[in-house]
């Protein structure tokens, strides 16, 4: 599902070498998709075609290999939305990474500082940022870690590293949860913000329009998301990701700038919250770290984004991918750090559970221009719609994979449309049935943390097999095991915090 075999496929036009033309007569049939990841010989060309060392054909093959004319998708991968288009570049990678790597989950970062305080809050944010940037680099390098294969899905890389069964157990639920669960959360946030936007614009007595209910706004958002989801593949939504990136950067900047510029509320305090017991204190710290970890989700999409790029020996895909990631995460850092630090400075312990956007509405809703508040809400809606597309793409890809595996042919347009409508309706149903899911940010961060911080380090060891006790071996084992332990602690801390503080659980009653 996520690896492509390198095939020999020469162009139909003759290749000119010196004064002679070598006519292409080599044509190999594509390898079938296997349930388990096949082993690729070190030199697939030598294994299938035997030519004299100095013959013109050998020179032709070497030349064609170097410029990348031998890379061909297996038929099934050419039918799936993630890998059917290979015209991606560093710009597309930056757009997708920025749109998926920053978002509304960053708005709760100041809440973590309430528990951690200034020093430990900044230290924790910095460490996790550098840690996840390192694991991003590992994933980008592992994309083509085996000669002749490209792992264009996180799940397939996990299966290659840990084995088919264990790889599925470790990665299937977290990656599907990050994709589907994020889409559900985006419907809640996007639909709820649509309602806030309407109230901001038509909140005066002169507006005679009646606002829709929360569920009706969810429907409006879901229908809009499903319409955009009809674009065929990941590369086709690059423009949408660009719009989403600009929207995210703008509303994050607007939110913390307005909060800092406005006069701070009275009784702002930066004293850490007192806890009744040491255990409660530890659990609160773990929950805060989980919120920070949740702000850096998106690793489950990195391999998919890189899979949309062409690749050859001279121009491997990891080069433009890493350029795009470096640029996007520079922008992400310029958004998240001021948002967390500025938001905590502006509101301190008065920060509501909804994050800095709720604080802005609560404390400065009356003394802030409706234009600014309206633009901020509209940008949140736009970014939620665009993020929905990129996070839903792995789900669409998986649904179509099941069909193409059974039928051995691409999905017809009506079935592809049906899959996307079905997923949108399912995500809408869950958002209405379980409206309390955003309150589980710490728990979700703990569950998803291995995908971001632990698995890439362990997969690097399993696939690359660095020499024992070297610095690379030690660093990756240490970070991988630490990530797993931290994940267990975060899940425990989040559950304990929910049990102690309680949570407003209401089914089919979105607020």
Q: Which ranges of 151-237 would DSSP assign to H, the alpha helix?
A: 154-162, 164-201, 214-228
CB neighbour list of residue 221: distance below 8 Å, 6 or more residues apart: 187, 190, 191, 194, 381, 384, 385
Q: Which of 9-18, 366-375, 466-475, 499-508 has the lowest mean pLDDT?
A: 9-18
Per-residue pLDDT averaged across 349-356, rounded? 85
Is residue 34 over pLDDT 60? Answer: no
Residue 287's pLDDT is what? 79
pLDDT in tens, 74-90: 677 889 999 888 889 99
182 closest CA partner among 321, 335, 295, 95:
295
For residues 323 and 330, give the distance between their C-alpha atoms in angstroms, rounded to a whole number: 11
Reported as a pLDDT band with limits 50, 70 and 90, residue 205 is low
For residues 242 and 386, give the distance between their C-alpha atoms in angstroms, rounded to a whole number: 9
Is residue 350 over pLDDT 60? Answer: yes
CB neighbour list of residue 2: distance below 8 Å, 6 or more residues apart: 151, 152, 153, 154, 155, 156, 157, 303, 307
Is residue 132 over pLDDT 60? Answer: yes
Q: Are 435 and 188 in contact (CB under 8 A)?
A: yes
Residue 403's pLDDT is what? 92
Q: Are 471 and 320 in contact (CB under 8 A)?
A: no
- Please state, rounded to an integer, the average pLDDT across all residues of the chain: 82
Residue 61's pLDDT is what? 42
pLDDT in tens, 449-470: 899 999 999 999 999 999 999 9
For residues 434 and 501, give the distance between their C-alpha atoms in angstroms, rounded to a whole number: 19
Q: When comparing pLDDT for 383 and 62, which is higher?
A: 383
pLDDT in tens, 159-173: 999 999 999 988 888
Highest mean pLDDT among 161-165, 207-211, 310-314: 161-165
Residue 275's pLDDT is what? 65
Domains and CATH numbers, the chain: 88-499 (1.10.4160.10)
Residue 428's pLDDT is what? 94
Residue 352's pLDDT is what? 86
Per-residue pLDDT averaged across 279-300, rounded? 81
DSSP E strand boundaries for 332-461: none
CB neighbour list of residue 466: distance below 8 Å, 6 or more residues apart: 460, 472, 473, 476
CB count within 10 Å of CB 30 equals: 16
Is residue 65 over pLDDT 70? Answer: no
Reported as a pLDDT band with limits 50, 70 and 90, residue 44 is very low
């Amino acid at each position: 599902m996520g690896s492509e075999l390198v095939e020999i496929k020469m162009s139909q036009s003759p290749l000119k070498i010196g004064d002679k033309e070598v006519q292409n007569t080599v044509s190999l049939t594509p390898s079938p998709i296997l349930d388990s990841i096949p082993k690729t010989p070190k030199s697939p060309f030598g294994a299938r075609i035997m030519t004299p060392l100095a013959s013109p054909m050998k020179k032709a093959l070497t030349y064609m290999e170097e410029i990348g004319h031998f890379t061909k998708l297996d038929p099934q991968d050419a039918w799936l939305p993630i890998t059917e288009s290979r015209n991606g570049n560093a710009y597309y990678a930056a757009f997708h990474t920025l749109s998926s790597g920053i978002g509304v989950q960053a708005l709760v970062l100041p809440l973590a500082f309430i528990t951690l305080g200034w020093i430990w809050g900044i230290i924790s944010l910095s460490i996790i940022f550098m840690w996840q940037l390192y694991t991003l680099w590992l994933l980008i390098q592992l994309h083509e870690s085996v000669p002749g294969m490209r792992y264009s899905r996180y799940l397939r890389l996990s299966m290659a590293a840990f084995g088919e069964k264990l790889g599925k157990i470790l990665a299937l639920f977290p990656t599907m949860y990050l994709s589907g669960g994020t889409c559900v959360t985006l419907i809640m946030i996007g639909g709820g913000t649509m309602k806030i936007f309407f109230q901001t614009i038509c909140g005066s007595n002169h507006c005679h329009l009646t606002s829709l209910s929360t569920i009706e706004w969810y429907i409006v958002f879901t229908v809009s998301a499903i319409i955009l989801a009809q674009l065929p593949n990941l590369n086709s939504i690059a423009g949408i990701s660009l719009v989403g990136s600009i929207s995210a950067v703008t509303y994050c900047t607007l939110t913390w700038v307005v909060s800092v510029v406005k006069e701070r509320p009275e009784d702002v305090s930066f004293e850490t919250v007192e806890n009744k017991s040491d255990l409660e204190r530890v659990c609160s710290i773990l929950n805060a770290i989980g919120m920070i970890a949740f702000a850096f989700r998106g690793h489950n999409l990195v391999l998919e984004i890189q899979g949309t790029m062409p690749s050859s020996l001279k121009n491997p895909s990891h080069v433009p991918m890493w350029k795009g990631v470096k640029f996007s995460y520079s922008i992400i850092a310029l958004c998240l750090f001021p948002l967390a630090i500025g938001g905590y400075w502006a509101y301190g312990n008065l920060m509501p559970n909804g994050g800095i956007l709720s604080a802005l509405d609560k404390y400065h809703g009356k003394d802030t221009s409706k234009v600014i508040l309206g633009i901020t809400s509209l940008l949140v809606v736009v970014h939620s719609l665009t993020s929905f597309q990129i996070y839903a793409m792995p789900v669409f890809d998986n649904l179509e994979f099941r069909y193409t595996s059974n039928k051995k042919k691409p999905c017809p347009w009506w079935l592809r449309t049906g899959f996307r409508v079905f997923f949108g309706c399912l995500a809408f149903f869950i958002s209405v049935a379980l409206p309390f899911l955003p309150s589980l940010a710490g728990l979700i961060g703990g569950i998803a943390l291995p995908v971001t911080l632990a698995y890439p380090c362990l997969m690097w060891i399993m696939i690359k097999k660095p020499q024992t006790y070297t610095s690379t071996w030690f660093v990756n084992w240490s970070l991988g095991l630490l990530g797993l332990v931290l994940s267990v602690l975060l899940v425990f801390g989040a559950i304990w915090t929910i049990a102690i503080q309680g949570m407003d659980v209401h089914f089919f009653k979105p607020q």
